[in-house]
Structure 1
Amino acid sequence: MNLDHHKNAIQENGFTVINNVFSEQEIRKIGEIIQNIDTSKETFRKSDDLFAIRQFLKEIPQVRELVFNENIKDIITEIFGEKYIVVKSIYFDKPEKSNWYVAYHQDLTISVDKKADISGFGPWTTKQNQFAVQPPIEILENIFTIRIHLDATDEYNGALKVIPKSHAKGIYRPETIDWSVETETICNVEKGGIMIMKPLLLHGSNRTTNGKKRRVIHIEFSDKELPEKLKWSENMN
Structure 2
Amino acid sequence: MSLKNLETYKSHIEKYGFSVINKVFSDEEVGRIINVLDHIDTSRDNFRKSEDLFAIRQFLKEIPEIKDFIFNDNIKEVVKNIFGEKYFVVKSIYFDKPETSNWYVAYHQDLTISVDKKLELSGFGPWTTKQNQFAVQPPLNVLENIYTIRIHLDDTDESNGALKVIPTSHSKGIYRPETIDWTVETEEICNVEKGGIMLMKPLTLHGSNRTTNGKKRRVIHIEFSDMELPEVLQWAERMN
- With 211-220 and 227-236 compared, the bigger mean Cα shift is at 227-236
1:26 corresponds to which letter in structure 2?
A: E
**Paired residue secondary structure (1:146):** strand
Identify the residue that residue 67 of structure 2 maps to in structure 1.
Answer: 64
Task: Tell me whether 1:185 sits opposite 2:177 in the alignment.
Answer: no
| Of 113, 123, 137, the match for 1:110 | 113
Separation in structure 2 between the aligned mates of residue 127 and residue 163 of structure 1, nearest angstrom: 29
Q: Does 1:100 align with 2:103?
A: yes
TM-score by length of 2: 0.98
Matched, 1:33 2:17: no
| Structure 1 match to 2:224 | 221
Offset from partner CA, 1:112-131 (integer Å, 9 cap, x none):
00100000000000112110
Superposed displacement of residue 94, structure 1: 0.0
**Cα displacement (A) at 1:2:** 1.7
Secondary structure, in 3 states, of the residue corresponding to 1:111?
strand
Describe the superposition over 1:79-135 as per-residue Cα deviations: whole angstroms up to 9, x where unpaired: 011100000000000000000000000000000001000000000001121100000
1:143 to 146, 159, 168: 146
Q: SS of the counterpart of 2:158? A: coil
Percent identity over the alignment?
Answer: 75
Tell me, what secondary structure is at the counterpart of 1:156?
Answer: helix
The aligned residue for residue 15 of structure 2 is 12
Q: Which amino acid aligns with 1:29?
A: R
Give the TM-score of the pair, scaled to structure 1: 0.99
Q: Which runs of 5+ in 1 are unaligned?
A: none
Paired residue secondary structure (1:232): coil
Contiguous gaps of at least 5 residues in structure 2: none
Query: What residue is the counterpart of 1:172 in the other structure?
Result: 175
Of residues 121-130 and 166-175 in structure 1, the stretch that sits farther from structure 2 once superposed is 121-130
SS of the residue corresponding to residue 178 of structure 1 reads: coil
**1:17 Cα deviation from its structure 2 partner:** 0.1
- Tell me which residue corresponds to 1:152: 155
Letter aligned with residue 101 of structure 1: Y
Structure 1 residue ranges (4+ consecutive) displaced by more than 6 angstroms after TM superposition: none
